[in-house]
Amino acid sequence: MCGIVGITSNKEVTTRIVNSLKKLEYRGYDSAGIATLNDGFIKEVKCEGRVEVLEKNITSSNLQGEIAIGHVRWATHGRPSTINAHPHSSETVSVVHNGIIENSTILKKILEKKGYNFKSQTDTEVIAHLITDYLKKNNLKNTIIKVLKKLHGSFALGIIFKDYPDLIVGARRGSPLAVGYGPNENYLGSDSYALKSMTNKVSYLNDGEFCLIKDNQVEFFDTNGIKVNKKILNLSQDNQDNDKGDYKHFMAKEIDEQPTTIKNCVNEYIDKINKQINIYNFPWKINQINSIVLIGCGTAYHSCLVAKYWFEEYTSLDVSIDIASEFRYRKLKFKSDCLYVFVSQSGETADTYAALDICKKNKMKTCSIVNVIESSIARDSNLVLPIHCGPEIGVASTKAFLGQMLVLYILCLKLSFDQKIITKKIYQEKIKNLLSLSNLCKKTLLTDNKIQKASKEFIKAKGSMFLGRGYSFPIALEGALKLKELAYVHAEGYPAGEMKHGPLALIEEGMPVVVLAPRDNHYKKTISNMQEVIARGAKVLLVTNKSKDEIQSENIWEKIEVENLTEDLFPFLITVPLQKLAYYSALQNGYDIDKPRNLAKSVTVE
């Protein structure tokens, strides 16, 4: 999704803007651009497509400057094109923008009547002309205060000015924005990841704030222009490298990293000597929590769905789950004895952040389960439980999904034990099982040949189904989501028992169907559902666990067996073959696996 970088310095900056934009490429984008001041004039270079193209255009136009703003765009208003790429500039002002200006049509009409000409179809261009217009009658600070109040919607902005040659203005409402500090230069970035190659000292803007950044000074203001003091924070140094190494794709690397990330996460939360869970900073007493709501989007939401089964089984809490984009618009009855848990890899997903914000405003207990600990969601929750899986670059979430499930499982065990629902013996047994999970996951990675073969059928089919019951149902949803987003194959995830209530009509000769049937409580019922689809011509790829008991069916097309473990942990293992199925299906089709079409890594618009 869109990304912003800005640098004001006393040295040339365009090369570093390009390098930082490259760091933001993983978020998914369709065009890129940069604006700088050159001989006292605003000069832009923009392109459709990759930052590499932008880099070539910058070299050929010999663009240089000691101040610049850069952007990668993920189209919302106006199709991806060079004209619609950011920055958008007037003669005196140039703007980059993440987010959506909801009243841009009205503002555009007013500005057009005043004689301003629009080149693009974007909502952003109104900001450049609005600032230009206000600057005619106001000083810079008042212009910013007034213009920001005119804008409806969400934004993170970076702005440079012809008449203030060393100044970048940053402003935030809804979309995250960070300021970085360097020697004789300062930076603006839509997340700290964009700035990490230049500094580890950052401050974050809160909602409604704006900042004036010069090479030797940074000032922050609230909505009304009152000065705000900011803490300078040190960014964490993650040791994981962000290179693909010998892998063709980040996704393949991230799937293979899962045993390591499970191990790291378990090490962070489990005291192996005393066999107990350490969440040192848990801020509430157990009797202050009677219910729990788990909230996320996409894959993160699926981790909440799996966790619902755990919380129902092991705690006496009332458990509900919600998709963040729905939660934010529901008529909610907030309960002070409820814990609201927000799950997000990036920690910047706009819908999840908005859901957190509503809970915060209602003074609820909030906990976030995130990968990026400097993220907005982490910063604004009462309790942060990191998933410790290192940077995830592939757009499709893989290792973060396992990490999210793992932390939810650990939180569930802690609450269960504190509530005295499970005995110390069972608690410690479950901790012991967690310690073996990494190794079992490693063995599950060795199932490549069968999956590669199966993927050929999936890409040929006009549709496919993923079926499971209990814990396996959300994993079926996740498997189907992965296949859709990476291989562009229509796939439906369904509770296996629901098939006869409608979707069975879709099954026809040769349709590939994934059946998730580890030997758990639901095993026999799921196998019966499997027979029903086989009887109607489906080609079944069965994912089960290793066992001495033979499965009573002759017509299974392909079978993948994961390692044996207690049934509540099966979701961790049966996910892996489905990630690989999506990966190989996309690979066979020659698709851009790490950056699937139309998608973005960090979804910072609604």
| Active site members | 2, 601
Say whether residue 85 binds ligand F6R (CB under 6 A).
no
345 binds ligand F6R (CB under 6 A): yes
Rounded least distance, CB 339 to ligand F6R, Å: 19
Contacts of 402 (CB under 8 A, 6+ apart): 258, 261, 262, 389, 441, 572, 575
The residues in 194-223 that bind ligand F6R, with binding defined as CB under 6 A, are none
To the nearest whole angstrom, how small is the minimum distance from the Cβ of residue 297 to ligand F6R? 4
Q: Which stretch binds ligand F6R (CB under 6 A): 24-32, 294-302, 308-316, 550-558?
A: 294-302
Q: Is 341 in the site for ligand F6R (CB under 6 A)?
A: no
Question: Taking CB positions, which residue lies at the least distance from ligand F6R?
Answer: 298
Residue number, 93 or 491, with CB nearest to ligand F6R: 491
Q: Which residues contact 106 (CB under 8 A, 6 or more apart)?
A: none
Q: What is the largest CA-CA distance in the chain?
A: 82
396 binds ligand F6R (CB under 6 A): yes
Q: Can you say whether the dihedral through the CA atoms of 575, 581, 582, 583 is positive or negative?
A: positive
User: CA distances (Å), 445 to each of 48, 107, 288, 387, 589, in order?
Assistant: 38, 54, 42, 21, 22
Q: Which of 31, 346, 455, 472 binds ligand F6R (CB under 6 A)?
A: 346
User: How many residues sit in the footprint of ligand F6R (CB under 6 A)?
Assistant: 15
The nearest distance, CB 265 to ligand F6R, in angstroms, is 16
Applying CB under 6 A, among 344, 366, 376, 464 the residue interacting with ligand F6R is: 344
Torsion angle defined by CA atoms of residues 439, 440, 445 and 446, in that order, rounded to the nearest 10 degrees: 100
Site for ligand F6R in 541-570 (CB under 6 A): none
User: What amino acid occupies position 116?
Assistant: Y
Task: Select from 31, 143, 261, 352 the one that contacts ligand F6R (CB under 6 A).
Answer: 352
Stretch that binds ligand F6R, among 253-261, 346-354, 452-460, 563-571 (CB under 6 A): 346-354
Nearer to ligand F6R, 295 or 319 (CB): 295
Among 143, 299, 464, 545, binds ligand F6R (CB under 6 A): 299
State which amino acid sits at residue 253: K
Binding mask 476-495 for ligand F6R (x = CB under 6 A): -----x---x----------
- In this structure, are residues 67 and 168 in contact, taking their beta carbons and an 8 Å threshold? yes
With CB under 6 A as the contact rule, which of the stretches 50-58, 89-97, 297-305, 429-437 interacts with ligand F6R?
A: 297-305
Smallest separation (angstroms) from ligand F6R to the CB of 485: 6
Q: Concatenated DSSP letters for 406-435?
A: HHHHHHHHHHHHHTT-S-HHHHHHHHHHHH
Q: Could you tell me if 234 and 201 are in contact, meaning their C-beta atoms sit under 8 angstroms apart? A: yes
To the nearest 10°, report the CA torsion of 556, 557, 561, 566. Answer: -40
For 343-359, the DSSP string reads EESSS--HHHHHHHHHH
258-269 helix and 424-444 helix, angle to the nearest 10 degrees: 160
* Residue 349 is a binding residue for ligand F6R (CB under 6 A): yes
Asked if 416 interacts with ligand F6R (CB under 6 A), we say no
Q: Which two tokens stand for residue 571?
A: 């979701």
Structure tokens at 339: 């814990």
Query: Which of 16/482 has CB closer to ligand F6R?
Result: 482
Interacting residues toward ligand F6R by CB under 6 A: 297-300, 344-346, 349, 352, 396-397, 481, 485, 602-603
